[in-house]
């Protein structure tokens, strides 16, 4: 570590505040725009509240745990409900 007059050399470390205020690389900026476009292509989710029996909630939790183990990724209650409702719609012959 080199020091001049009790001050740390500004070329060492991670750049201090300069690390937070760097101008973006045009290649990086293009990548960010592309990733944003991919995310907006997904259908919008709507938040709602559901009232259910405790046995139904227990079953939903077991399904969530089982799907998480099978898929090796995090599964949400929304994912479980979506799959269950789509299967029930298919069984009843309902199309959107």
Please say if the pLDDT value at position 77 is more than 60.
yes
Model confidence pLDDT, tens digit, residues 82-96 = 999 999 999 999 998
For the chain, domain boundaries: 15-92
pLDDT in tens, 30-68: 555 555 555 556 678 889 999 999 999 999 999 999 999
SS3 96: coil
Distance, CA of 47 to CA of 35 (rounded, Å)? 24
pLDDT of residue 57: 95
pTM across the whole model: 0.53
């Amino acid at each position: 570590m080199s020091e001049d007059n009790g001050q740390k050399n500004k070329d060492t470390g991670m750049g201090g505040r300069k690390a937070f205020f760097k101008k973006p690389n045009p290649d990086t900026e293009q990548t960010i725009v592309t990733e944003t476009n991919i995310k907006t292509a997904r259908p919008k989710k709507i938040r709602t509240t559901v009232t259910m029996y405790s046995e139904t909630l227990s079953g939903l939790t077991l399904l969530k745990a089982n799907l998480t183990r099978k898929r090796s990724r995090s599964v949400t209650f929304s994912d479980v409900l979506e799959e269950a409702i789509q299967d029930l719609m298919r069984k009843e012959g309902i199309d959107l």
